[in-house]
Structure 1
Amino acid sequence: MSVTDAAIEAIKQMIVDGELKPGDRLPREPDLAERLGLSRNSLREAVRALSLIHVLDVRQGDGTYVTSLEPSLLMDAMGFVVDFHRDDTVLQFLEARRVIEPAATALAAARMSDDDIADLVTLLDSLGDTPTVDELVANDLEFHRRIAVGSANPVLSSLVESVSGRTQRARTWRGITQEGVVERTLAEHRAIQQALAARQPDVARAWATVHIAGVEQWIRQTLVEG
C-alpha cells in the first residue's frame, strides 16, 4: 500500500469509527500527522485526494471538514476509493483494452483524416499546464474515443468505448495517487498522436500498448499491495 493510500485509510478509519463525523473539522495538520504517524506531505496528499471525491471539504483560511453527507452516502463515496482494491475485474477490462485498443489505433493511423489527427493536438493543448484529475481523465477518455472512431470500424469503436469506460474509476484513482501521472499521460498521448500524423500504424500500435500497459501494471501492483 502506498504512503498516500495508507494516509487515506487512516482518515477513512476515523470516519468509519465515528471519531470524525460529517461536518466535523479535522485536527490541525501537524497534530493529525503526528497522531497517525504520517509525514505532513503524505497527509496533505491524502486530504487532497479525499477532497477530490468530496469526502473532505477544504475551506481556505478555515480548515478541512468532513462533508455534511449522510453517513451512508459518505461510505458510498469511499467505495469510489476501494472498489478496484476489492475486485480485480478492472484488470480483465484493462487486459481487454490492451488487446483491442492498439489494433484500433493502428487502423486509425491509416484511416483517420488529417484534420481529425490535427484536432487531437488541440484537445491535448486544451488541458493547460495544471489540469485537475477529473479534467485529465475526461481528456484521456475523449482522446481515445476519437482515435477509436478514427479506425472507421464502428464495431471496434463501440468495443473500445465500452471497455474503456469500465476502467474510468481506476484511472481517476491513479491520477490522484501516482506521482507524475499527468506528465506521463500527456507525453504518451503526444507520442501516439505523432505516430498517427506520420501514418505509422506499427508505431502507433506500440505506443498505445505501452500507454495502456502502464495503467494495467499500476493497477495490478496496487491490487497486489492491497
Structure 2
Amino acid sequence: MKLSEESRAEPLTLKPETTSDRREAGQSVADWVADELKRHIASGELAPGDRLPGERQLSDAMSVSRVSVRSALQNLKAQGLLSSVQGGGTHVVARDPSMDRPLLHLVGANPNSLHDLAEMIGHVASFGARRAVQHASDSDIEDMKAVLETMALSGRSPSLQATDDIKFQALLARASQSGTFMHVMAVLQETLGAALMATGMRNQPTRDDAQALLSYNRMMVSALLARDAEQAGRIAQDHAEQRRRMIANTVPRSGVEPAAVQASAAGA
C-alpha cells in the first residue's frame, strides 16, 4: 500500500495558524510561509503526495506576496520536503529516493527480509492507529465507512476490494494527523512494493483474503468509535499480518517461521 496513492486530486485550501504580521521578530515573510507549510506537513494535513495550492492561492490565503510564497517553496524544495513538475504543480515529497535504496537491496536479497519488513510495517501501523483513535474526527470516520460500503458491495472482485482496502488505510493514516508517521510508512510501504515487483510475481488476492481485510477494517471503525487505542493498535497489526500472509502466497519465507508463530510454539 502506498499512502501517496490516495493523495487529494485537488489542491488544498490552507489556513495559516497565525498571520504574517504576528511572525517572530526578525523572521522574514518567506521563512514564516515556509514554517506554516511545514506545520501543515508535520500535522498530516498535507500528506505525502498531496498537491499544494498554486502560488496565487497561497498568496491570497496567507496575505503575503507571491514573491514570498515562491521563495518559501524554493526553500522547502531545497530541504527535500516539496517537489514540482512542469504543469503538474507542487507536491509534498513522499520519500527521498536515496533514503530507501540500501533497504531495498537488503529486502530484495532475501525473501525472509521481505517478510520482516512486512511485519515491521504492522508495528508502525499500530502506532498510527492508536494516534487515529485520539485524533480522528466524525468526518474521518464517515469517510472510512463510505469506503467500507463500497468494499462490501455484492459481486465486487477481490482485486477491487484490495484497492478499497488501500483507500481505507490511507484515510486511517490521515486521521492520525502525524506527518512523521505518514512519511515513515510511505518509505516502508514503497520499499515493500518495489521489492515485490522485483520478484516478478503478482500477488492476486483471493475472496477469503479480501473478506479478511474487510473484517479487520470494520473492526477498526468500531475501535475508533469506541476510542479504544489498544484495540485499534492490535487490529492494525492483525491487518498487516493478513497482508503479509497474502505476500507469503507469492513469496514464501525460506525455512524461517514468523516471530509470532515461533513465540506461540514456544509457549505451547
Shorter chain as denominator, the TM-score bin is 0.5 to 0.7
Deviation at 1:136, TM superposition (A): 1.9
Deviation at 1:114, TM superposition (A): 1.2
Count of residue pairs brought into register by the alignment = 142
Is 2:115–2:244's contact at 8 Å kept on the other side of the alignment? yes
Matches of 2:154 and 2:202 in 1, distance apart? 18
1:223 aligns with 2:252: yes
Is 1:145–1:161's contact at 8 Å kept on the other side of the alignment? no
Is 1:112–1:151's contact at 8 Å kept on the other side of the alignment? yes
| Deviation string, structure 1 residues 139-190 (Cα, Å, up to 9, x no partner) | 1111111111111110111222332344455897150xx4511211101110
Q: Which amino acid aligns with 2:143?
A: D
Partner of residue 124, structure 2: 100
Deviation at 1:125, TM superposition (A): 0.8
Matches of 1:87 and 1:210 in 2, distance apart? 21
| Structure 1 unaligned residues grouped into runs of 5+ | 1-83
Deviation at 1:225, TM superposition (A): 7.3
Deviation at 1:134, TM superposition (A): 3.2
Q: Which amino acid aligns with 1:121?
A: K
* 1:129 counterpart SS class: coil
Partner of residue 195, structure 1: 223
1:204 aligns with 2:232: yes
Normalised to the residue count of structure 1, the TM-score between the two structures is 0.54
Is 2:132–2:224's contact at 8 Å kept on the other side of the alignment? yes
The within-5 A match list for 1:1-80 is none
Q: Which amino acid aligns with 1:196?
A: L
Q: Which amino acid aligns with 2:214?
A: L
The within-5 A match list for 1:161-200 is 161-168=186-193, 173-175=203-205, 178=206, 180-200=208-228
Partner of residue 110, structure 1: 134
Over aligned residue pairs, what C-alpha RMSD do you find? 3.0
> For residues 161 and 148 of structure 1, do their structure 2 counterparts lie closer, same or farther at Cα, with a shift above 3 Å needed?
same
| Structure 2 unaligned residues grouped into runs of 5+ | 1-107, 256-268
Normalised to the residue count of structure 2, the TM-score between the two structures is 0.46
* 2:221 counterpart SS class: helix
Q: Which amino acid aligns with 1:105?
A: A
Is 1:102–1:209's contact at 8 Å kept on the other side of the alignment? yes
Is 1:195–1:203's contact at 8 Å kept on the other side of the alignment? yes
Q: Whose helix fraction is larger, Structure 1's or Structure 2's?
A: 1
Q: Which amino acid aligns with 1:154?
A: G
Partner of residue 79, structure 1: none
Q: Which amino acid aligns with 1:205?
A: G
Partner of residue 179, structure 2: 154
| Deviation string, structure 1 residues 73-122 (Cα, Å, up to 9, x no partner) | xxxxxxxxxxx897444323312211211100011011111111121010
Match of 1:136 among 144, 161, 164: 161
Identical-pair percentage: 16
> For residues 224 and 163 of structure 1, do their structure 2 counterparts lie closer, same or farther at Cα, with a shift above 3 Å needed?
closer
Partner of residue 16, structure 1: none
Is 1:174–1:181's contact at 8 Å kept on the other side of the alignment? no
Matches of 2:216 and 2:118 in 1, distance apart? 17
Matches of 1:119 and 1:142 in 2, distance apart? 10
1:126 aligns with 2:155: no
Matches of 1:139 and 1:192 in 2, distance apart? 15
